[in-house]
Amino acid sequence: MAQPLRLGIYGGSFDPIHCGHLAIAEEVRSTLGLASVAFVPAAHQPLKGQARCPPDHRLAMVRLACADNPAFIPDDLELRRPPPSYTINTIETFRARHGPAAELWLIIGADAARDLPRWRRVADILGLARVAIVGRPGHSVDLPALEVALPALEGRCVLIDGPRLDISSTDLRRRLAAGRPVRYQMPDTVRLYIAEHGLYQHD
Protein backbone atom coordinates (compact mmCIF):
# COMPACT_ATOMS: atom_id res chain seq x y z
CA MET A 1 0.00 0.00 0.00
CA ALA A 2 1.31 3.44 -0.92
CA GLN A 3 2.34 5.67 1.94
CA PRO A 4 0.24 8.82 2.45
CA LEU A 5 1.66 12.10 1.23
CA ARG A 6 3.43 13.76 4.16
CA LEU A 7 3.50 17.55 4.17
CA GLY A 8 4.99 20.02 6.64
CA ILE A 9 3.44 23.41 7.50
CA TYR A 10 5.79 25.93 9.08
CA GLY A 11 4.20 29.23 10.06
CA GLY A 12 5.68 32.30 11.66
CA SER A 13 6.37 35.99 11.31
CA PHE A 14 9.72 35.32 9.57
CA ASP A 15 10.71 38.85 10.54
CA PRO A 16 13.29 38.23 9.08
CA ILE A 17 13.69 34.61 8.05
CA HIS A 18 17.10 33.21 9.00
CA CYS A 19 19.26 30.08 8.90
CA GLY A 20 17.72 28.75 12.11
CA HIS A 21 14.30 28.59 10.46
CA LEU A 22 15.73 26.80 7.43
CA ALA A 23 17.72 24.33 9.52
CA ILE A 24 14.64 23.45 11.60
CA ALA A 25 12.55 22.86 8.49
CA GLU A 26 15.20 20.64 6.92
CA GLU A 27 15.65 18.65 10.14
CA VAL A 28 11.92 17.94 10.34
CA ARG A 29 11.67 17.21 6.61
CA SER A 30 14.46 14.64 6.86
CA THR A 31 13.33 13.09 10.16
CA LEU A 32 9.69 12.64 9.14
CA GLY A 33 10.22 11.98 5.44
CA LEU A 34 8.16 14.97 4.33
CA ALA A 35 7.61 15.56 0.63
CA SER A 36 7.72 19.32 1.19
CA VAL A 37 7.55 22.02 3.84
CA ALA A 38 5.31 25.04 3.28
CA PHE A 39 6.64 28.29 4.78
CA VAL A 40 3.59 30.37 5.71
CA PRO A 41 4.31 33.96 6.81
CA ALA A 42 1.66 35.26 9.20
CA ALA A 43 -0.16 38.53 8.69
CA HIS A 44 -0.43 38.97 12.46
CA GLN A 45 0.02 36.26 15.09
CA PRO A 46 -2.56 36.72 17.88
CA LEU A 47 -0.16 35.68 20.67
CA LYS A 48 2.74 37.83 19.45
CA GLY A 49 3.29 41.49 18.70
CA GLN A 50 2.89 43.08 15.31
CA ALA A 51 5.62 42.19 12.81
CA ARG A 52 8.17 44.99 12.29
CA CYS A 53 8.43 44.50 8.52
CA PRO A 54 5.54 44.80 6.04
CA PRO A 55 4.08 41.53 4.71
CA ASP A 56 5.27 41.99 1.12
CA HIS A 57 8.89 42.27 2.24
CA ARG A 58 8.64 39.30 4.61
CA LEU A 59 7.13 37.18 1.85
CA ALA A 60 9.85 38.25 -0.59
CA MET A 61 12.54 37.26 1.92
CA VAL A 62 10.91 33.86 2.48
CA ARG A 63 10.85 33.28 -1.28
CA LEU A 64 14.54 34.18 -1.56
CA ALA A 65 15.46 31.94 1.40
CA CYS A 66 13.56 28.95 -0.02
CA ALA A 67 14.68 29.37 -3.63
CA ASP A 68 17.53 26.82 -3.56
CA ASN A 69 15.54 24.01 -1.90
CA PRO A 70 12.79 22.52 -4.07
CA ALA A 71 11.18 20.95 -0.98
CA PHE A 72 10.61 24.39 0.62
CA ILE A 73 7.43 26.02 -0.69
CA PRO A 74 6.58 29.66 0.23
CA ASP A 75 2.83 30.14 0.71
CA ASP A 76 1.12 33.52 1.06
CA LEU A 77 -2.31 32.22 2.10
CA GLU A 78 -2.27 33.94 5.52
CA LEU A 79 -1.19 37.23 3.97
CA ARG A 80 -4.17 37.06 1.61
CA ARG A 81 -6.61 36.76 4.52
CA PRO A 82 -7.59 39.57 6.88
CA PRO A 83 -5.57 39.36 10.14
CA PRO A 84 -5.22 37.93 12.69
CA SER A 85 -3.67 34.71 11.39
CA TYR A 86 -5.22 31.66 13.06
CA THR A 87 -3.49 28.34 12.53
CA ILE A 88 -6.78 26.46 12.37
CA ASN A 89 -7.77 28.36 9.22
CA THR A 90 -4.45 27.51 7.60
CA ILE A 91 -4.68 23.83 8.52
CA GLU A 92 -8.24 23.67 7.16
CA THR A 93 -7.03 25.19 3.88
CA PHE A 94 -4.24 22.63 3.55
CA ARG A 95 -6.63 19.80 4.37
CA ALA A 96 -9.05 21.01 1.68
CA ARG A 97 -6.20 21.31 -0.83
CA HIS A 98 -4.66 17.90 -0.28
CA GLY A 99 -7.62 15.77 0.79
CA PRO A 100 -8.20 13.47 3.75
CA ALA A 101 -5.41 11.02 2.86
CA ALA A 102 -2.55 13.52 3.22
CA GLU A 103 -0.60 13.47 6.48
CA LEU A 104 -0.16 17.06 7.64
CA TRP A 105 2.57 18.00 10.10
CA LEU A 106 2.51 21.37 11.86
CA ILE A 107 6.08 22.43 12.71
CA ILE A 108 6.55 24.57 15.82
CA GLY A 109 9.44 25.45 18.09
CA ALA A 110 9.66 24.42 21.72
CA ASP A 111 9.02 28.03 22.76
CA ALA A 112 5.70 28.15 20.88
CA ALA A 113 4.66 24.69 22.11
CA ARG A 114 4.10 25.97 25.63
CA ASP A 115 1.33 28.23 24.32
CA LEU A 116 -0.48 25.45 22.46
CA PRO A 117 -3.35 25.19 24.99
CA ARG A 118 -4.11 28.89 24.28
CA TRP A 119 -4.40 28.47 20.51
CA ARG A 120 -7.76 29.01 18.85
CA ARG A 121 -9.63 25.69 18.31
CA VAL A 122 -6.50 23.75 19.15
CA ALA A 123 -8.37 20.44 19.48
CA ASP A 124 -9.61 20.88 15.90
CA ILE A 125 -6.05 21.59 14.76
CA LEU A 126 -4.88 18.34 16.33
CA GLY A 127 -7.71 16.47 14.67
CA LEU A 128 -6.51 17.61 11.25
CA ALA A 129 -2.72 17.58 11.69
CA ARG A 130 0.06 16.13 13.78
CA VAL A 131 2.61 18.34 15.51
CA ALA A 132 6.39 18.27 15.29
CA ILE A 133 7.91 20.19 18.21
CA VAL A 134 11.53 21.14 17.59
CA GLY A 135 14.01 21.88 20.36
CA ARG A 136 15.42 25.40 20.53
CA PRO A 137 18.26 26.83 22.64
CA GLY A 138 17.01 27.87 26.07
CA HIS A 139 13.62 26.19 25.66
CA SER A 140 12.48 22.76 26.79
CA VAL A 141 9.16 20.96 26.51
CA ASP A 142 7.57 18.90 29.29
CA LEU A 143 5.49 16.74 26.98
CA PRO A 144 3.62 14.79 29.70
CA ALA A 145 2.57 18.06 31.37
CA LEU A 146 1.57 19.50 28.01
CA GLU A 147 -0.57 16.44 27.28
CA VAL A 148 -2.30 16.83 30.66
CA ALA A 149 -3.11 20.44 29.78
CA LEU A 150 -4.09 19.44 26.24
CA PRO A 151 -5.35 15.82 26.12
CA ALA A 152 -5.96 15.97 22.36
CA LEU A 153 -2.17 16.19 21.89
CA GLU A 154 -1.57 12.63 23.09
CA GLY A 155 -0.42 10.42 20.25
CA ARG A 156 -0.43 13.36 17.81
CA CYS A 157 2.99 14.82 18.55
CA VAL A 158 6.69 14.07 18.16
CA LEU A 159 9.65 15.85 19.74
CA ILE A 160 12.59 16.45 17.43
CA ASP A 161 15.95 17.55 18.79
CA GLY A 162 16.66 20.20 16.20
CA PRO A 163 19.97 21.69 15.11
CA ARG A 164 19.64 24.26 17.93
CA LEU A 165 21.21 27.18 16.11
CA ASP A 166 21.05 30.07 18.56
CA ILE A 167 19.72 32.62 16.06
CA SER A 168 16.62 34.72 16.62
CA SER A 169 14.80 37.25 14.48
CA THR A 170 14.68 39.63 17.45
CA ASP A 171 18.47 39.59 17.82
CA LEU A 172 18.96 39.95 14.07
CA ARG A 173 16.73 43.04 13.99
CA ARG A 174 18.81 44.58 16.78
CA ARG A 175 22.04 43.77 14.97
CA LEU A 176 20.74 45.24 11.73
CA ALA A 177 19.59 48.43 13.46
CA ALA A 178 23.02 48.78 15.09
CA GLY A 179 24.89 48.11 11.85
CA ARG A 180 26.42 44.88 13.18
CA PRO A 181 27.16 41.91 10.88
CA VAL A 182 24.49 39.30 10.19
CA ARG A 183 26.34 37.36 7.50
CA TYR A 184 26.22 33.57 8.02
CA GLN A 185 23.11 33.93 10.18
CA MET A 186 20.75 34.34 7.21
CA PRO A 187 21.00 33.49 3.50
CA ASP A 188 23.05 36.02 1.55
CA THR A 189 20.07 36.68 -0.73
CA VAL A 190 18.01 37.75 2.28
CA ARG A 191 20.85 39.84 3.73
CA LEU A 192 21.30 41.67 0.43
CA TYR A 193 17.54 42.22 0.07
CA ILE A 194 17.43 43.81 3.53
CA ALA A 195 20.32 46.11 2.64
CA GLU A 196 18.81 47.03 -0.73
CA HIS A 197 15.48 48.03 0.81
CA GLY A 198 16.86 49.57 4.01
CA LEU A 199 14.84 47.26 6.26
CA TYR A 200 15.22 47.14 10.07
CA GLN A 201 17.42 50.23 10.14
CA HIS A 202 15.43 51.82 12.99
CA ASP A 203 14.04 48.78 14.79
pLDDT tens-place string over residues 47-74 = 676 789 999 999 999 999 999 999 999 9
Instruction: Return the higher-pLDDT residue of 162 and 126.
Output: 126
- Spatial distance between the Cα atoms of 44 and 34, rounded to a whole number of angstroms: 27
Residue 192 lies in a domain: no
Helix (H) or strand (E) holding 157: strand 157-160
For residue range 24-51, list pLDDT tens digits in order: 999 999 999 999 999 999 998 776 767 8
Helix (H) or strand (E) holding 158: strand 157-160
Give the pTM. Answer: 0.95
- Boundaries of domain holding 113: 6-168
Range with the largest mean pLDDT of 2-6, 90-94, 107-111, 138-142: 90-94
Q: Which residues have CB under 8 Å from 99's CB, separation 6+? A: none
- At 52, which CATH number? 3.40.50.620
Residue 78 lies in a domain: yes
Q: What is the pLDDT of residue 162?
A: 84
Residue 197 lies in a domain: no
Residue 198 lies in a domain: no
- The neighbouring-strand residues paired with 186 are 183
Residue 154 lies in a domain: yes
Residue 176 lies in a domain: no
Contact 47, 61 (CB under 8 A): no
Q: What is the pLDDT of residue 2?
A: 66
Query: 136 pLDDT band (50/70/90 cuts)?
Result: confident
Residue 44 lies in a domain: yes
Helix (H) or strand (E) holding 105: strand 103-109
Contact 64, 189 (CB under 8 A): yes
User: Does 78 have pLDDT greater than 70?
Assistant: yes
Quote the number of domains for the chain: 1
Q: What is the pLDDT of residue 47?
A: 67
For residue range 162-201, list pLDDT tens digits in order: 898 999 999 999 999 999 999 999 999 999 999 999 999 9
Distance of CA 7 to the CA centre of its chain: 13
Residue 141 lies in a domain: yes
Cα-Cα-Cα-Cα dihedral sign, residues 109, 115, 121, 122? positive
